[in-house]
Structure 1
């Protein structure tokens, strides 16, 4: 639950809480407190003396109490001196009152796990005579100072507010961009409260289009991003502005299904695209860091990339869906050995079967006949639009298939190495495979602002498109995607699974992409294992909703 929502629940209980504050509650009352450099409050709990070795639980609790007392008293200097980064902490604690307009705050320590102390914050934000409550929970960790030997709060932006990331700041007042009322393709309103994954998208739409839609700003508390071109993230509305209405091509029903599906797995993301138009139907993420990995991430996509590799090989006439393709248990290229999962092999089977069973070696054995080291990047760029700048209507990262040589070139054939994708780009690749035509994904129709959409330089050959669709259908009915796609109704469905090894990770990333009718979807679960196990059910749920 976000701070604004929690604040609405607490509401009028705030003053009563302050008036009856008991042991362990640190409160600042009134507007006559410190200016960020001097304290006018009574002395709070003393911090422990310096020592050596690991910080004890007792010292951690004592340091946390002293820090809470200084923070709640508005004494930025005293609070900062209790951290391991006093310069940054003093600025942030001072801004909490002077630039975020927090007029009252009560901090209640919660559960302690070792040297990590949880706490709840009940605050009031006041701007130009309007006051609203803000309630949230966070935690801090106490560490030993490198030079001082003192137990100190390990200063992170999240100490001030859990949604703050490195370089970000809390700010209040009248924002530059008026609010927007976003609606889906059928006129249904899209709100961050109902569709939490859309918060970054809605913030981006506001930043880009707010001034163009005739709305008027109110007053808010927001997170100012570290990057200049990144959208602000609203935390609390003090005075409602007049929103401008913006029409998106999202589908509220598909979005709702996507939101529900990603909740089943941590670090999960999914995007759905309409192949016939390029319209983005849904964007959803379930991540602890709030990062929109669905549209802004970049990870190796594993065997889902074989869609592009297969298109390239079919295009060059090196393979055919119905011709036998050798699939040994392992194959070497320039000193590196590549293996199939658990060393499986296929005897006298077609390339379509190798695709459906995700045989790595059947693909890598073709690198020598291809000759051209930039064949895969060219196919990705010229046919699938990967490598040109997309103008979706919100900020996106649009995939990367760089030139590679040696073992890295072979790894790229199976979606490893330097390849970078996200669910948006993989959903688009699947949509292109489905129709044979690249249509740049959009969240807002280009007619909204006249922006020029990216185009591919050539269409996929009809024979290639037909074979690619047939192989994806085989994968969905008799290949590695069979289990995940079993719940998707109808016969017009196809898929591709993928798992990508990541250096230092215990489990591979789970990837899955598929289509059903005029909906294509791709999902990614960080550390989720095999594609059909985690990402597969997410895609299936989204396809069923479409």
Structure 2
């Protein structure tokens, strides 16, 4: 995104309307960034006053050290994580025994807010999602204390309680399993499913059985280190059921789609962590859930990712619902745009004098950010929840993360949320559902089992909005960044996405698509761009399964 000249005229020209392609009359969307920036500055000065230093700001180096510790712990690099603490030997021993002793595979550790203490320490909160093999995911919150050392570096101040707030010199955790025979689990046509034939289902099948009250059961107990006495239960997995043990559990999965999805990921993800979900548009029934690697954390359903430009489907819906923009309106697409920080387009592309249609099909970040004043601070989240069900509690049939679109804390975060960054969080399940809702107009809670309960409440999108969304996604295939699907027959539409992770890590690649009665979403971690990484995976899947299931 190029820096916009501060006095550039972004209002309507008095000489008359501008014209888009084919001589169509277009509206020019007003962008009033300067006034907002000046107002924000005046408000800041008025609030703090000349002598109020405001809250202490955490040292960025402390935050980076905390993020590095969590990344190493998450990746199983215990020695490296421990080296970032004040007591490396003890830290490495405890981290290893905690994850191995509780049979935890591929922890998901998400850093949160950093706060500076009056004593010079910095505390970084984090959320832990600990997949306990064969049982489910144990979730809890904790925090990392950091202290500046004599040599000027920051280290994590080691304490047992940072691993888990209740872990101490007198209390530890114990995993208890209850042996239960797993039931047969079938696809939508009665075909048996297994981890042998469909490896990605290995971690899911116990959860599916558990959702039906038929899966393995267990618990993580807090026990006294000396006596072994149970002091409490931190997590319970599985439920008792009165259903006969020999009755199969039915799912909405389709064995053909599941196999094709797993093969597409194995062939196209290039060894990177990746995930994919395919579901029916008319009822939300999930046809395939695939993860790479196939064992461990279920990224497809429980992952928490910035959805990047695939989120522009929701942003566009919010704009269209207000008649704040139309496809043929001219919304300039410069290389850069500064809103607190400098935003840019992929490969710093630009399209001067572009229409909004062009902005969508080429995924122009700067154009979308320039429209941020057209929606209220809480409006994007409200549209996501009201029309797309994002952020409501979903009853999928297995544990799922159902998305979050918090109100932005400042204009920079609002700009980021317009393009699926900032604190917007989703996963392939959510984005497949978003795609299905956009092209049908009606949200259907995604389901994996027959007994899934739907407690969501949504409103259908207006028909004219749906028509425009379908046309924009279709044009993205025929004349935009999703051209990888252009050779597929029929009415196929898509949206690409590139999501920033951090300043020093490759972007995640996203791709969502619809064809017939199926919506698909795929993310490839460190895929750099969606069109080049996730796009071929979706193309392989749709090419391998030409017919939609009935």
TM-score, normalization: structure 2? 0.62
Gaps of 5+ in 2: 1-88, 104-171, 222-233
Matched residue, 1:76: none
Q: Name which of 350, 371, 384 aligns with 1:380.
A: 384
Indicate the SS of the match to 1:272. strand
Report deviation, 1:504: 5.0
Matched residue, 2:298: 292
Matched residue, 1:111: none
Does the Cα contact within 8 Å between 1:387 and 1:399 map onto a contact in 2?
yes
Of structures 1 and 2, the one with the larger relative CO (CA 8 A, separation 6+) is 2
Note if 1:251 corresponds to 2:227.
no
Sort the Cα spacing of 1:351 and 1:410 in 2 relative to 1 into closer, same or farther, 3 A: same
Sort the Cα spacing of 1:168 and 1:525 in 2 relative to 1 into closer, same or farther, 3 A: farther
Indicate the SS of the match to 1:228. strand
Note if 1:412 corresponds to 2:417.
yes
TM-align CA RMSD: 3.1
Q: How far, CA to CA, are the matches of 1:476 and 1:462 in structure 2?
A: 22
Note if 1:480 corresponds to 2:481.
yes
Matched residue, 1:467: 468
Q: How far, CA to CA, are the matches of 1:91 and 1:493 in structure 2?
A: 44
Report deviation, 1:506: 2.6
Sort the Cα spacing of 1:90 and 1:381 in 2 relative to 1 into closer, same or farther, 3 A: closer
Q: How far, CA to CA, are the matches of 1:502 and 1:462 in structure 2?
A: 35
Indicate the SS of the match to 2:437. helix
Report deviation, 1:327: 1.4
Q: How far, CA to CA, are the matches of 2:455 and 2:411 in structure 1?
A: 35
Note if 1:498 corresponds to 2:480.
no
Does the Cα contact within 8 Å between 1:519 and 1:543 map onto a contact in 2?
no
Q: How far, CA to CA, are the matches of 2:528 and 2:281 in structure 1?
A: 28
Q: How far, CA to CA, are the matches of 2:99 and 2:406 in structure 1?
A: 42
Sort the Cα spacing of 1:84 and 1:400 in 2 relative to 1 into closer, same or farther, 3 A: closer
Report deviation, 1:429: 0.3
Structure 2 matches for 1:161-240, cutoff 5 A?
175=179, 177-211=180-214, 228-230=235-237
Indicate the SS of the match to 2:211. helix
Indicate the SS of the match to 2:184. strand
Structure 2 matches for 1:127-138, cutoff 5 A?
none
Larger radius of gyration: 1
Q: How far, CA to CA, are the matches of 2:262 and 2:385 in structure 1?
A: 31
Matched residue, 1:455: 457
Report deviation, 1:452: 3.2
Q: How far, CA to CA, are the matches of 2:460 and 2:298 in structure 1?
A: 30
Q: How far, CA to CA, are the matches of 1:361 and 1:84 in structure 2?
A: 45
Q: How far, CA to CA, are the matches of 2:477 and 2:100 in structure 1?
A: 53
Structure 2 matches for 1:303-452, cutoff 5 A?
303-333=309-339, 335-370=340-375, 372-404=376-408, 405-445=410-450, 448=451, 451-452=453-454
Report deviation, 1:178: 4.0
Report deviation, 1:210: 3.8
Indicate the SS of the match to 1:532. helix
Q: How far, CA to CA, are the matches of 1:418 and 1:190 in structure 2?
A: 37
Report deviation, 1:298: 0.3
Q: Name which of 275, 279, 285 aligns with 2:285.
A: 279
How many residues are treated as equivalent by the alignment?
369
Does the Cα contact within 8 Å between 2:175 and 2:220 map onto a contact in 1?
no
Note if 1:521 corresponds to 2:492.
no
Sort the Cα spacing of 1:86 and 1:421 in 2 relative to 1 into closer, same or farther, 3 A: closer
Structure 2 matches for 1:144-155, cutoff 5 A?
none
Does the Cα contact within 8 Å between 1:168 and 1:224 map onto a contact in 2?
no
Runs of 4+ in structure 1 deviating by more than 6 angstroms, as ranges, are: 81-84, 90-95, 167-172, 222-227
Does the Cα contact within 8 Å between 1:439 and 1:455 map onto a contact in 2?
no
Indicate the SS of the match to 1:539. helix
Comparing 321-330 with 525-534, greater Cα deviation is found at: 321-330
Sort the Cα spacing of 1:192 and 1:383 in 2 relative to 1 into closer, same or farther, 3 A: same
Q: How far, CA to CA, are the matches of 1:510 and 1:427 in structure 2?
A: 15
Indicate the SS of the match to 2:530. coil
Matched residue, 1:28: none
Q: Deviations over 1:35-55 (max 9, x none)?
A: xxxxxxxxxxxxxxxxxxxxx
Does the Cα contact within 8 Å between 1:325 and 1:351 map onto a contact in 2?
yes
Matched residue, 1:157: none
Sort the Cα spacing of 1:443 and 1:503 in 2 relative to 1 into closer, same or farther, 3 A: same
Report deviation, 1:244: 2.8
Q: How far, CA to CA, are the matches of 1:282 and 1:367 in structure 2?
A: 35
Q: How far, CA to CA, are the matches of 1:393 and 1:94 in structure 2?
A: 25
Report deviation, 1:337: 2.2
Gaps of 5+ in 1: 1-80, 96-166, 212-216, 233-240
Does the Cα contact within 8 Å between 1:180 and 1:210 map onto a contact in 2?
no
TM-score, normalization: structure 1? 0.62
Q: Name which of 82, 90, 93 aligns with 1:85.
A: 93
Q: How far, CA to CA, are the matches of 1:403 and 1:411 in structure 2?
A: 12
Indicate the SS of the match to 2:446. coil
Sort the Cα spacing of 1:459 and 1:92 in 2 relative to 1 into closer, same or farther, 3 A: closer
